[in-house]
Amino acid sequence: MNLPKTIAYITVSDPRDKHAWSGTNYYIRKVLEKRFGEVTMLGPDEPKLVTFLCKVVHGVSLYIFKKRFDYRNSTFYAKACGRLFSKKLKHKSYDLIVSPAGIAYIAYLKTDIPIIFVGDRIIANSLNYHTIITNLWKWSEKQSLKTESIALHKASLNILSSHWAADYAIDYYKLTKKNTIVLPFGANMDKTPSAEYVFDHKIKTDVCKLLLIGTFWKNKGVDIAINALHLVLKKNIRAHLTIVGCEPETPVNDTNITIIPFLNKNSKDGLRELEQLFLSSSFFILPTRFDCTPIVFCEASMYGLPILSADTGGVAGHVQEGVNGFLMDYNDKGEGYAAIIEQIWKDEDHYLKLQGTARELFDKELNWDSWVKHLETELIRI
């Protein structure tokens, strides 16, 4: 197809909001505008009455039966979304539809315009893995899978951020490899410091500083990170852990741990503080319990910060072993993390090389400019 001049952008959350979906909808919109031109935001919007009814059913189900109703991917909700956005598409002529995380929004669209779906997971391999689609009614599960199947087959191109998602989608839904591709996401930050700036401003320290950024303490495996810290300290390595974005249920009193409950990277002060954390830290650690695409891995790589994470979900899509970090066994309670930290920290040449290859991977793959260039190539092909 010819490159699009007008794009209809259909999103679940507000594409002007840098907080929604870690800012991914916002940064995809910005890079589409930069590369192609006009992007019309048709969302956020949803069928309000249908949404209200679905929420009532879900709430009652959860309260009485302790079972979840995945209403946002239900047939009732998806068909209502299809009607809503089909009407919106008639108001103007578009060359292309792009819908990040919009399975229910595109499944029942009535249009001949090519559709690009962008996602970091699929429902089929996230059932009972991702919390919001855990413990579903069987009928709800079937509806969600049906909605996803219709949407993925309708899309001219499915872009997924990891092989974990894409390979399963191809196998489960019998999609073609030609129209289902893997493109890693980019760093969700307005400014990209040059590699020269990063390495000129790295703050050298004799203390091995671990950085963890995450919204939910338990889900991000913070207790495992703390255990890893204590094991590193037992190896006679001076170490410190900074935790950003969440708080424990019970207070943590440890001089080797700093907790920053909230940091707004979209404010000048917040961004400055975040940059200092990336520049002054030695490793980024995230023993996550479930994840599709932690955008923060792109940001850590941008600052040449080696990553240590659990090998789960789509994590491997943004962490390449020995290049920008290391993947630990999911059941590791901190021992493996501590062993890698000790090994790398005591080998300065290896550590410096890892910093460099982390930044190189960011420059090559983990940025939105690279993502949209690959998208352009795919659009020419389809």
Q: Stretch 152-178: mean pLDDT, rounded?
A: 97
In the prediction, which pLDDT does 382 show?
83
Q: Can you list the domains of the chain with their CATH numbers?
A: 6-186+367-381 (3.40.50.2000), 195-364 (3.40.50.2000)
In the prediction, which pLDDT does 204 show?
87
pLDDT at 1 over 90: no
pTM above 0.85, yes or no: yes
Q: Stretch 331-344: mean pLDDT, rounded?
A: 98
In the prediction, which pLDDT does 64 show?
98
Q: Stretch 328-344: mean pLDDT, rounded?
A: 98
Asked whether the beta carbons of 34 and 7 are under 8 A apart, the reply is: no
Q: Stretch 48-67: mean pLDDT, rounded?
A: 97
CA 220 – CA 222 distance, rounded (Å): 6
**CA 162, 168, 173, 179: dihedral to nearest 10 degrees?**
30
In the prediction, which pLDDT does 328 show?
98
In the prediction, which pLDDT does 152 show?
98
pLDDT at 224 over 90: yes
Which residue type sits at 295?
I
pLDDT at 304 over 90: yes
Give the full edge-to-edge strand order of the sheet including 6-9. 38-41, 6-9, 96-100, 115-119, 157-160, 180-182
pLDDT at 227 over 90: yes
Of 101, 226, 220, nearest to 158 (Cα)? 101
The pLDDT confidence band at residue 266, using thresholds 50, 70 and 90, is confident
pLDDT at 379 over 90: yes
* 64-93 pLDDT tens trace: 999 999 999 999 999 999 999 999 999 899
**CA 165, 167, 172, 177: dihedral to nearest 10 degrees?**
120
The beta-strand segments (E) located in the chain are: 6-9, 38-41, 96-100, 115-119, 157-160, 180-182, 208-213, 239-244, 257-260, 283-286, 307-310, 325-328
